[in-house]
């Protein structure tokens, strides 16, 4: 569950943002909201185009279910000061990104990964039935597993999200999958069962509890698949997670699941520099429990963490100038007044649930601005595959023309 | 286990069932229908009427009409391959829901099912020309403790009603506005609001609902007059008084494995376990309300987690299932998520983290504003509340109310600010 505390580096309060005049901001927001497009004259990202595969990197950030009403709308932009401010000015924003499949977590994410609408078990019992972008990339370009990661907060996912059940592909071409939030949940439950609840009020002891879970070795129970053997965590992975935990516990900052997911992602970027990194935030999913305030706090957290990730990319020589970042929700949420109880859920066959947005920044975009034509979630897989240098992907989606491979 | 005496099904329905009515229904209609018939004792009068209308409508159809009525549903079932599914025709399961939702034809199927229900309702409406309208009242209370911004508090209501200023200077001392409104008048000839509704012909406790995120409102009703066990004047649901029920349910759900069959097993157990010992007296003694609560908690939507979600979802379900004449929903305060442990949302935060709970007043206020609006939206989905209903959402800390009502509603004729002491009389007039 997210907390409402905001880090001092929150985009809306940052010094960097202060230099943007309110008029600039409002002009940009108004232009966006009335759909007349943003200034689109500058070259964005500063990267080289047409260099697919030559060291290109992709960072894909997926939020849970987020409605346009709480994000890119007149009332919503206050919840996304980073995305609608500094980042928007450097981005290509797709205004109508459609989930035409099952609007539940496992299927939505596996459709994004495979480029083909998936209709598998929603609780992650079955792997996607078409090859994932990780498998295309690793098989065609003989890329190591450590170059492809999925780091996710979402409890509805399992390690099966990282590879398909297709016989000529499968787990041997899949991504590393880590669920940092599951480590936290397991540590809390473990401490509770052992009667060590006092541990959970003390940051130092919390770190001990989390480390104990890492040492326990039941990584499959956590849904992870980053092993060097049957149940041993790869030593480099282990030190990466330990560093993230230490930072998470000792920084005195917010302590939601997405914060830990971000810190683990940052460590993974620092140690492994993966060429394809997927980060899935899910603090917003507290909406299922009906707290609108906590849902909005989750959006603000996601906005801030996406911004921090972009800053990390821009200051890391392994990523700077050769990385494309995509940010998109899995789907929207149900409209107010729907029989499915509005923002709580994401089951209705409505625009509010099916249509969201996607922001693209970095080396693969030539111009900033707004793309009003609809694109689909399944279009992302062939686009990312192309950026990474894959020659072919037989999928339902088509490459997004505005993203230059 | 459930052990109450059973009510009989209406004779015409029983006869139709004896003649094999269920065999005429498509496979995907069976889990819902069978479950409703099996749970007959625990259905509200409105729900009983609804299933009777559906089944008697089907019974009235000729074979050719039956085929025509269900054609779309049957074709979609065939396309979806329902006959090859592990689909329970006995009861609604999570697996059933998951199989349907995953199908590419799911939305079409939902529309086709709705079409059948609409036809049944139209059939019943044609047959019943005596439908009497009556005034209804929905009261939503955002309590004093929650800080509100007068410039934005009614923004989400999008001008569908009017703001009315209230004057609380002569209010009921330490009593909240809702307590004042629901109190039984002393030394006055008029009846209280609850009395007015429950004295209407054929009315039951299902016609009058009070949902409280705290406990004060329910307890003030319980204390207002001597109540015989088992004969409560209204459906009284207090989130705080239901703590024991929630603890037990949460415990079971926390044990659940992340697997469909395990989930169905846990839900099956929770559907059958005797919940009476977990209930406060005002729930334990009313079987239909006990079962409503069980079903409410099984349906999620935060009812087990947050008081305000319980109030909103509880009210929405009450409106859908019981169509009450009087519904009062009072929101409250939740705590801030605790550091680290807040990830385990199903666990009781006070049990797993010894840090003291801290009220989240700002967050609770935002939740309450959104959810109060949702209760009205839930009501406005149904014909019963589109006319002849007054909805008053009170922002106690601002001494303001947002009112959606027909022009003749008495509150609109008063000079503002309206003294709170006048509200019980205005509302009694409306409901009388």
- From B127, B154, B181, the end of a domain falls on B127
Chain A partners within 8 Å of B366 (Cβ): 292-293, 296
Query: What residues make up the domain containing B236?
Result: 136-431
Q: Is a pLDDT exceeding 60 seen at residue A7?
A: no
- From B127, B153, B168, the end of a domain falls on B127
What is the per-residue pLDDT for A135?
A: 97
3 state SS for chain A: CCCCCCCCCCHHHCHHHHCCCHHHHHHHHHHHHCCCCCCCCCECCCCCCCCCCCCCEEEEEEEEECCHHHCCCCCCHHHCCCCCCCCHHHEEEEEEEECCCCCCHHHHHHHHHHCCCCCCCCCCCCCCCCCCHHHHHHHHHCCCHHHEEEEECCCCCCHHHHCCCCCCCCHHHCCEEECHHHHHHHHHHHHHHCCCHHHHHCHHHHHHHHHHHHHHCCCCCCCCCCECCCCCECHHHHHHHHHHHHHHHHCCCCCCHHHHHHHHHHHHHHHHCCCEEEEECCHHHHHHHCCHHHHHHHHHHHHHHHHHHHHHHHHCCCCCCCEEEEEEEEECCCCCCCCCCHHHCCCCCCHHHHEEEEEEEECCCCECEEECCCEEHHHHHHHHHHHCCCCCCCCCCCCCCCCCC
- The DSSP H or E segment spanning B32 is helix B30-38
Q: Which of B302, B339, B353 sits opposite A290 (nearest CB)?
A: B302
Distance of CA B238 to the CA centre of its chain: 13
* Mutant choice from B305, B319, B343, B377 vs A, greatest count of A C-beta within 10 A: B343
Chain B closest-CA separation from residue A144 CA (Å): 31
Chain B closest-CA separation from residue A114 CA (Å): 17
Evaluate whether B42 touches B288 at the Cβ level (below 8 Å).
yes
A155: CB partners within 8 A, 6+ apart? A179, A181, A182, A185, A282, B258
Evaluate whether B337 touches A3 at the Cβ level (below 8 Å).
yes
Closest residue in A to B361 (Cα–Cα): A293
List, as own/partner pairs, every contact residues B374-377 make where C-beta atoms lie below 8 angstroms and the sequence separation is at least 24, other chains included: B374/A336, B374/A337, B374/A341, B374/A342, B374/B312, B374/B316, B375/B138, B375/B140, B375/B311, B375/B312, B375/B315, B375/B316, B375/B319, B375/B327, B375/B329, B376/B138, B376/B140, B376/B157, B376/B404, B377/A336, B377/A337, B377/A342
* Choice among A59-63, A207-211, A225-229, A377-381 with the minimum mean pLDDT: A225-229
Q: Is a pLDDT exceeding 50 seen at residue A18?
A: no
pTM: 0.90
Chain B partners within 8 Å of A342 (Cβ): 374, 377
What is the per-residue pLDDT for A189?
A: 77
- pLDDT digits 0-9 by tens, A340-362: 999 999 999 999 999 999 999 99
Domain residue limits, chain A: 11-163+274-387
Task: Provide CATH code, domain A11-163+274-387.
Answer: 3.40.720.10
Distance CA B331, CA B309 (A): 9
Specify the DSSP class assigned to residue B415: P
Tell me the HSE value of A106 on the side-chain side, using a 13 A CA sphere.
24
Evaluate whether A386 touches A137 at the Cβ level (below 8 Å).
no
Shared domain for B174 and B34, answered yes or no, is no
What is the per-residue pLDDT for B248?
A: 86
Q: Is a pLDDT exceeding 80 seen at residue A256?
A: yes
Residue B187 within a domain: yes
Query: How confident is the model over B302-324, as a mean pLDDT?
Result: 96
The answer, for B108 touching chain A at a CB cutoff of 8 Å, is: no
Q: Is a pLDDT exceeding 70 seen at residue A46?
A: no
The answer, for A7 touching chain B at a CB cutoff of 8 Å, is: no
The answer, for A194 touching chain B at a CB cutoff of 8 Å, is: no
Closest residue in A to B374 (Cα–Cα): A337
Distance CA B211, CA B312 (A): 9
A-facing residues of B in 188-207 (CB < 8 A) are none
Chain A partners within 8 Å of B110 (Cβ): 349
The answer, for B364 touching chain A at a CB cutoff of 8 Å, is: yes
Distance CA A353, CA B81 (A): 26
Confidence of residue A177 (pLDDT cuts 50, 70, 90): very high
The answer, for B352 touching chain A at a CB cutoff of 8 Å, is: yes
Q: Is a pLDDT exceeding 70 seen at residue A187?
A: yes
B-facing residues of A in 104-143 (CB < 8 A) are 104, 107, 119-125
Residue B1 within a domain: no
Shared domain for B263 and B398, answered yes or no, is yes
In 3D space, the residue among B249, B234, B222 whose CA is nearest the CA of residue B286 turns out to be B234
Distance CA A327, CA A40 (A): 19
In 3D space, the residue among A382, A375, A376, A377 whose CA is nearest the CA of residue A399 turns out to be A382
* Mutant choice from B341, B354, B372 vs A, greatest count of A C-beta within 10 A: B341
Q: Which residue has the tokens 């399944």?
A: A378
- pLDDT digits 0-9 by tens, B317-376: 999 999 999 999 999 999 998 887 777 766 677 777 778 889 999 999 999 999 999 999
What is the per-residue pLDDT for A247?
A: 83
What is the per-residue pLDDT for A53?
A: 64
Shared domain for B279 and B405, answered yes or no, is yes
Residues linked to residue A359 through DSSP beta bridges, in sequence order = A93, A327
Chain B closest-CA separation from residue A178 CA (Å): 16
Chain-chain contact of A288 with B362 (C-beta, under 8 angstroms): no
Query: How confident is the model over A203-231, as a mean pLDDT?
Result: 74
Chain-chain contact of A290 with B339 (C-beta, under 8 angstroms): no
Chain B closest-CA separation from residue A294 CA (Å): 7
Residue B5 within a domain: no
Query: How confident is the model over B247-259, as a mean pLDDT?
Result: 72
Query: How confident is the model over A133-139, as a mean pLDDT?
Result: 97
Query: How confident is the model over A372-392, as a mean pLDDT?
Result: 95
Q: Which residue has the tokens 């949940």?
A: A185
What is the per-residue pLDDT for A17?
A: 35
Residues linked to residue A57 through DSSP beta bridges, in sequence order = A323
A-facing residues of B in 228-257 (CB < 8 A) are none
Q: Is a pLDDT exceeding 70 seen at residue A29?
A: no
Over chain B, what is the mean pLDDT? Answer: 88
- pLDDT digits 0-9 by tens, B45-65: 999 999 999 999 999 999 999
The answer, for B20 touching chain A at a CB cutoff of 8 Å, is: no
- pLDDT digits 0-9 by tens, A294-326: 999 999 999 999 999 999 999 999 999 999 999
Distance of CA B374 to the CA centre of its chain: 12
Residue B244 within a domain: yes
Q: Is a pLDDT exceeding 70 seen at residue B306?
A: yes
Q: Which of B107, B313, B362 sits opposite A341 (nearest CB)?
A: B313
What is the per-residue pLDDT for A58?
A: 98
Distance CA A278, CA A161 (A): 11
Confidence of residue B202 (pLDDT cuts 50, 70, 90): confident
Cis peptide before A221 (omega within 30 of 0): no
Chain-chain contact of A290 with B305 (C-beta, under 8 angstroms): yes
B229: CB partners within 8 A, 6+ apart? B281, B285
Per the structure, the count of domains in chain B is 2
Confidence of residue A31 (pLDDT cuts 50, 70, 90): low
Query: How confident is the model over B298-324, as a mean pLDDT?
Result: 95
Q: Which of B102, B360, B371 sits opposite A119 (nearest CB)?
A: B102
Chain-chain contact of A293 with B360 (C-beta, under 8 angstroms): yes
* Choice among A8-12, A29-33, B214-218, B300-304 with the minimum mean pLDDT: A8-12
What is the per-residue pLDDT for B71?
A: 96
The answer, for B107 touching chain A at a CB cutoff of 8 Å, is: yes
What is the per-residue pLDDT for A32?
A: 56
The answer, for B98 touching chain A at a CB cutoff of 8 Å, is: yes
Q: Is a pLDDT exceeding 70 seen at residue B313?
A: yes
Residue B391 within a domain: yes
The highest-confidence range among A157-161, B229-233, B359-363, by mean pLDDT, is: B359-363
- The predicted complex's ipTM stands at 0.91
Chain-chain contact of A185 with B343 (C-beta, under 8 angstroms): yes
The answer, for B277 touching chain A at a CB cutoff of 8 Å, is: no
What is the per-residue pLDDT for A24?
A: 44
What is the per-residue pLDDT for A8?
A: 32
Residue B32 within a domain: yes
Q: Is a pLDDT exceeding 90 seen at residue A391?
A: no
In 3D space, the residue among A255, A190, A248 whose CA is nearest the CA of residue A218 turns out to be A190
Chain-chain contact of A201 with B380 (C-beta, under 8 angstroms): no
- From B106, B127, B148, the end of a domain falls on B127
What is the per-residue pLDDT for B240?
A: 96
* Mutant choice from A107, A283, A293 vs B, greatest count of B C-beta within 10 A: A293
Over chain A, what is the mean pLDDT? Answer: 85
Shared domain for B115 and B221, answered yes or no, is no
Query: How confident is the model over A74-83, as a mean pLDDT?
Result: 94
- pLDDT digits 0-9 by tens, B89-122: 988 888 888 889 889 899 899 999 999 999 998 8
What is the per-residue pLDDT for A10?
A: 43
The highest-confidence range among A63-77, B198-212, B258-272, by mean pLDDT, is: A63-77
Q: Is a pLDDT exceeding 50 seen at residue A39?
A: no
- pLDDT digits 0-9 by tens, A267-288: 999 999 999 999 999 999 999 9
In 3D space, the residue among A286, A362, A219, A114 whose CA is nearest the CA of residue B305 turns out to be A286
């Amino acid at each position: 569950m997210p907390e409402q505390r905001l880090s001092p580096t929150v985009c809306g309060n940052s010094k960097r943002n202060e230099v943007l005049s309110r008029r600039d901001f409002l002009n940009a927001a108004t232009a966006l909201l009335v759909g007349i497009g943003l200034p689109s004259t500058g070259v964005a990202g500063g990267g080289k185009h047409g260099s697919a595969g030559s060291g290109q990197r992709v960072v894909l950030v997926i939020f849970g279910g987020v409605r346009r009403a709480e994000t890119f709308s007149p009332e919503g932009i206050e919840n996304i000061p980073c995305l609608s401010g500094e980042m928007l000015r450097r981005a290509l924003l797709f205004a109508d990104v459609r989930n035409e499949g099952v609007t539940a977590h496992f299927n939505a994410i596996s459709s994004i990964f495979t480029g083909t609408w998936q209709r598998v078990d929603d609780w992650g019992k079955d792997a996607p039935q078409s090859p994932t972008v990780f498998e295309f990339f690793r098989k065609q370009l003989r890329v190591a597993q450590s170059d492809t990661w999925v780091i996710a907060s979402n409890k509805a996912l399992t390690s099966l999200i990282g590879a398909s059940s297709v016989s000529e592909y499968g787990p041997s071409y899949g991504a590393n999958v880590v669920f940092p939030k599951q480590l936290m949940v397991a540590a809390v439950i473990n401490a509770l069962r052992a009667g060590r609840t006092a541990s959970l009020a003390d940051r130092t002891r919390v770190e001990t509890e989390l480390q104990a879970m890492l040492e326990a070795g039941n990584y499959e129970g956590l849904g992870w698949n980053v092993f060097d053997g049957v149940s041993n965590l790869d030593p480099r992975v282990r030190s990466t997670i330990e560093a993230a935990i230490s930072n998470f516990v000792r920084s005195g900052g917010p302590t939601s699941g997405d914060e830990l997911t971000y810190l683990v992602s940052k460590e993974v970027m620092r140690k492994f520099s993966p060429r394809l990194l997927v980060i899935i935030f899910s603090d917003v999913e507290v909406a299922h429990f009906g707290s609108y305030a906590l849902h909005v706090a989750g959006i603000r957290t996601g906005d801030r963490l996406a911004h921090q990730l972009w800053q990390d990319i821009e200051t890391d020589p392994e990523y700077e100038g050769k990385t494309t970042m995509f940010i998109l929700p899995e789907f929207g949420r149900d409209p107010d007044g729907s029989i499915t109880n509005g923002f709580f859920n994401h089951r209705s066959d409505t625009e509010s649930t099916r249509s969201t947005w996607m922001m693209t920044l970095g080396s693969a975009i030539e111009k900033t601005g707004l793309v009003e034509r609809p694109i689909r979630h399944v279009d992302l897989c062939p686009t990312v595959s192309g950026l990474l240098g894959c020659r072919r992907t037989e999928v339902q989606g088509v490459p997004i023309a505005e993203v230059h491979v | 286990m459930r052990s109450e005496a059973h009510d009989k099904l209406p004779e015409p329905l029983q006869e139709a069932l004896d003649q094999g009515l269920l065999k005429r229904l498509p496979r995907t209609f069976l889990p819902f229908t069978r479950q409703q018939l099996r749970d007959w004792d625990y259905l509200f009068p409105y729900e009983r009427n609804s299933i009777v209308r559906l089944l008697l409508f089907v019974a009235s159809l000729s074979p050719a009409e039956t085929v025509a009525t269900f054609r779309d549903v049957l074709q979609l079932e065939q396309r979806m391959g329902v006959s090859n599914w592990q689909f329970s025709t006995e009861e609604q399961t999570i697996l059933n829901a998951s199989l349907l939702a995953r199908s590419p034809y799911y939305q079409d199927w939902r529309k086709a099912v709705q079409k059948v229900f609409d036809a049944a309702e139209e059939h019943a409406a044609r047959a019943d020309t005596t439908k009497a309208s009556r005034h209804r009242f929905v009261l939503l209370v955002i309590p004093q403790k929650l800080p509100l911004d007068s410039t934005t508090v009614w923004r989400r209501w999008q001008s569908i009603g009017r703001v009315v200023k209230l004057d609380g200077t002569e209010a009921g001392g330490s009593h909240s506005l809702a307590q004042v409104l629901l109190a039984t008048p002393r030394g006055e000839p008029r009846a209280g609001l609850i009395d007015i509704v429950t004295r209407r012909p054929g009315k039951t406790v299902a016609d009058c609902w009070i949902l409280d995120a705290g406990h004060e409102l329910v307890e003030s009703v319980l204390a207002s007059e001597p109540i015989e066990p088992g004969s409560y004047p209204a459906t009284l649901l207090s989130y705080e008084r239901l703590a024991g029920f929630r603890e037990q349910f949460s415990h079971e759900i926390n044990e659940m494995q992340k697997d469909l069959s395990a989930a169905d097993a846990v839900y099956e157990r929770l559907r059958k376990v005797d919940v009476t010992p977990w209930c406060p007296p005002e729930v334990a003694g009313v079987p239909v309300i006990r079962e409503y609560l069980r079903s409410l908690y099984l349906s999620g939507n935060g009812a087990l987690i947050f008081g305000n979600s319980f109030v909103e979802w509880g009210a929405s379900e009450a409106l859908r299932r019981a169509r009450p004449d009087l519904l009062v929903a009072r929101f409250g305060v939740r705590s801030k998520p605790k550091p680290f442990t807040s990830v385990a949302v199903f666990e009781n935060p006070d049990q797993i983290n010894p840090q003291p709970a801290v009220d989240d007043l700002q967050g609770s206020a935002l939740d309450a504003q959104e959810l109060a609006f949702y209760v009205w939206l839930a009501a406005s989905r149904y014909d019963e509340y589109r006319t002849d209903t007054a909805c008053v959402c009170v922002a106690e800390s601002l001494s303001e109310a947002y009112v959606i009502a027909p022009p003749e509603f008495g509150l609109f004729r008063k000079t503002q600010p309206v003294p709170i002491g006048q509200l019980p009389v205005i509302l009694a007039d409306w409901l009388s």
